[in-house]
Amino acid sequence: MRRFSFHKGHGTRNDFIILDDSYGMHDMHPEFIRAVCDRHAGIGADGVIRVVRAGSIRDWTGDPHLWFMDYYNADGSVAEMCGNGLRVFARHLINEQLVDAGAFDVATRAGVKHVEVARHGLISTDIGRALVLPDDVTVTLEDRSWPVVKVDVGNPHAVVFLTDSDVLEDLDLHRAPRWSPAEAYPQGVNVEFVRVDAPDALTMRVHERGVGETLSCGTGVVAVAAAHRARGGHEGPVTVRVPGGELSVQFTGDEARLTGPAVVIGRGEFWI
Ligand SMILES: N[C@@H](CCC[C@H](N)C(=O)O)C(=O)O
């Protein structure tokens, strides 16, 4: 039996297990990740974040001393980016005094992201460019199909704007939405369903790749704001409501900044 210590945190109820691994010794096998994320037999989470120095990551060519957010979905798959995870990761670095300022850089598979502690203790993260990509893709859920706005936020997103006849709260996201053509997202996709409440206010639900429905998705929120903006929706800051809370997105050119809460709720020891 192995024992390891963990912290648990969430950003708008998108929850993560945090593992400190400064020396890059931890084996992140998919079976291990599935076991700890299991909500009945494990700790339970939407994903696992390993806190490791960038220099321990194969193929990393940047500053080796940066802290690297090594992110995994609950099914054991690796993801390039996680917007809520990045804020929780930053909160953990601050709590554990692993950084010595209220503004610092974090390394991720989608590049280096700048993080700042914002007003009221919220955390604001630079997400980078949210690229709205022209494509002809359809998403199907049960017997309904919608056209998709394809957005790349470092990880892939399919944004569906609901029509007046759709009720966001009634969608059954227990099952994964399907997309066509299949080649549009060869690595799978996070699918967001959006209702436009006002030019600067959106409500969204998400089915995350590698997890299922979650109560929030930070990169999904950015994807939705970028798609809304590309449709001529709004240039200024946008508030996006998710089942787990509220996040805000601001653009400078195509560069997105995501602001919202991030908390670490406790720590413990897991035996496996
Ligand atoms: N919850 C995250 C996104 C996590 C990764 C995603 N499921 C993927 O596979 O791309 C967020 O807050 O952005």
Catalytic-residue membership of 37: no
pLDDT of residue 65: 97
pLDDT tens for residues 78-102? 999 999 999 999 999 999 999 988 9
Residue 190 Cα to ligand 1 midpoint, Å, equals 7
Ligand 1 pocket test, candidate residues 69, 211, 221, 249, most atoms within 8 A of CB: 211
Domains 3-128+260-271 and 131-258 share a fold: yes
209 labeled binding residue: yes
Catalytic residue among 48, 52, 82, 204: 82
Partners of residue 16 on adjacent β-strands: 9, 47
Q: Does domain 131-258 have CATH number 3.40.1160.10?
A: no
What sign does the dihedral 10-13-17-23 (CA atoms) show?
negative
pLDDT value, residue 153: 97
Instruction: Give the start-to-end residue ranges of the domains of the chain.
Output: 3-128+260-271, 131-258
How high is the pLDDT of residue 101?
84
Q: Is 95 within any annotated ligand binding site?
A: no
* Mean pLDDT value across residues 208-216: 98
SS3 54: helix
Give percent of the chain with pLDDT exceeding 90: 92
Whether residue 254 is predicted with pLDDT greater than 80 in this model: the reply is: yes
Q: Is 208 annotated as a binding-site member? A: yes
- Is the pLDDT at 233 greater than 80, yes or no? no
Quote the tokens at residue 135: 């494509």
- Class at the top of the CATH hierarchy for domain 3-128+260-271: alpha beta
Catalytic pick from 115, 151, 204, 217?
A: 217
DSSP classification of residue 165: T
- pLDDT of 148 above 80: yes
Q: What is d(CA 93, CA 269) in angstroms, rounded to the nearest whole number?
A: 19
Cα dist from 87 to 176, 262, 263, 269, whole Å: 26, 6, 9, 23
Confidence of residue 74 (pLDDT cuts 50, 70, 90): very high
For residue 52, name the pLDDT band (cuts at 50, 70, 90). very high
Ligand 1 pocket, CB under 6 A: 14, 47, 73, 79, 82-85, 155, 190, 208-211, 214, 217-219
What's the pTM?
Answer: 0.97
217 catalytic per annotation: yes
Average pLDDT, the chain: 96
What's the CA gap between 82 and 124, in Å, rounded? Answer: 13
What pLDDT was estimated at residue 234? 81
Report the pLDDT averaged over residues 212-218.
98
* Residue 233, CB-side half-sphere exposure with 13 Å CA sphere: 22
As a residue count, the chain comes to: 272
pLDDT at 129: 95
Q: What is the pLDDT of residues 97-136, one digit of tens each?
A: 999 889 999 999 999 999 999 889 899 999 999 999 988 9
Is 190 labelled a binding residue? yes
